[in-house]
Amino acid sequence: MFNIQENFEMVTILNEKGVIINEKLMPNLSDKELIKLMERLVYTRTFDERCVALSRQGRLGFYAPVSGQEASMIGTHFALHKDDWILPGYRDLPQIYFHGVPLKQLFQWSKGHFKGGSMPDAVHVTPPQIIIGAQIIQAAGVGLGLKKKNKKSVAVTYTGDGGSSQGDFYEGLNFAGVFATPTIFIVQNNQFAISTPYSRQSAAATIAQKAIAAGIQGVQVDGMDVLATYMVTKAARERAVLEGEPTLIETITYRFGPHSMSGDNPKIYRTDESEISWFQKDPLQRYRLFLESLGLWTSQDEEHIVEEAKADIKEAIKQTELDREQTIQDLAGNMYEFLPRNLKEQLNHM
């Protein structure tokens, strides 16, 4: 359906008014599934707003805001199965939460606690990667492992447009193309690698077209349209499982807030005019209008999800703050099975 190697026009299903403009691409989702998508979008927006507040209060460690990118994250994840592996970047906490990682563990990871990186055995997720783009090569390797074990599942990795400027990006795509691994590479192009605009990162008109050099499928999708991101990812997953073909998906999206809560000020490198135009594309408003037109969503429904998310987050951060602080001994013990002599001496001295 999305085999468009020579045409990288952006795939869109809903316009900014929530009106279907591409009927033939509409997913065959039940009313219940359509509502669940909205519930997850609202939950993610609330999660982000609360995490920004917690970060400002000094109650979290590192945090990268996600508002504006909800459709890119939730739509792509909604197309995955529980047996699929996710190799996330540091901004991709919503996807791994809905894949089964508890909120408390996300907060432990943010605070740098060693428990935050120990993912539940039954949840196919690796810890969020801080090194830009490093997860891309790893995803190609996980995909190869799934192929060798004849698993009917895929490896999915996320990065930003800045990640596509890393050498690991090209190496990962090339490896996946050569060995035909069931891997989906999702680049969430939010227009800036911190403060560097995409135009200063690449002369290519799209990131999607970079798939050609690796001999794999590439597609660009409207990252503010949750139905479009779902359909493109669903097609990529089917292609990976049935035909062993990897896919590069570029979602065109925008982060409404700063790159991270570590001092970035987007007002320095973004104009008010550009921000207004992107705010008008708000993925929640677009999908909200669509569901309201079908009689499937009300303000009361939305408020219920907001309150549920707030309560979940309040309890999770409370439980996280009850954790004992990790020690230097914890750090050394988790890094080494057998401590080197110099570390033993230092720990004994302490």
Summarize the confidence of residues 94-115 as an average pLDDT.
Answer: 96
- Residue 2 pLDDT more than 60? no
Contacts of 284 (CB under 8 A, 6+ apart): 41, 42, 45, 70
pLDDT 10s digits, 33-70? 999 999 999 999 999 999 999 999 999 999 999 999 99
Q: What is the residue range of 34's domain?
A: 23-349
Per-residue pLDDT at 1: 52
Catalytic residue numbers, as ranges: 255, 259, 269
Hey, which of 94-98, 265-269, 321-325, 338-342 has the most confident mean pLDDT?
94-98
Is 81 inside a domain boundary?
yes
Is 3 inside a domain boundary?
no
Angle at 305 between CA 251 and CA 102, to 5 degrees: 70
Bridge partner residues of 125 (DSSP): 86
**Residue 81 vs residues 48, 244, 250: alpha-carbon distances, Å:** 24, 16, 20
Q: Torsions phi, psi of 248, nearest 5? A: -105, 120
> Which residue intervals of the chain are DSSP H helices?
31-56, 70-78, 93-98, 103-110, 134-148, 167-179, 211-214, 226-243, 272-279, 283-293, 299-320, 328-335, 341-349
Beta carbons of 96 and 124 less than 8 angstroms apart: no
Q: Rounded distance, CA 343 to CA 237, Å?
A: 46
CATH of the domain at 74: 3.40.50.970
Residue the block writes with tokens 């050569």 = 178
Here the tokens at position 136 are 């891309």
pLDDT 10s digits, 230-286? 999 999 999 999 999 999 999 999 999 999 999 899 999 999 998 999 999 999 999
Is 36 inside a domain boundary?
yes
Q: Quick one: pLDDT band at residue 349, thresholds 50, 70, 90?
A: confident
Per-residue pLDDT at 268: 94
Is 4 inside a domain boundary?
no
Is 164 inside a domain boundary?
yes
Per-residue pLDDT at 4: 44
Is 11 inside a domain boundary?
no
Domain total of the chain: 1
pLDDT 10s digits, 290-311? 999 999 999 999 999 999 999 9
Is 13 inside a domain boundary?
no
Is 276 inside a domain boundary?
yes
Beta carbons of 48 and 66 less than 8 angstroms apart: yes
pTM of this structure: 0.94
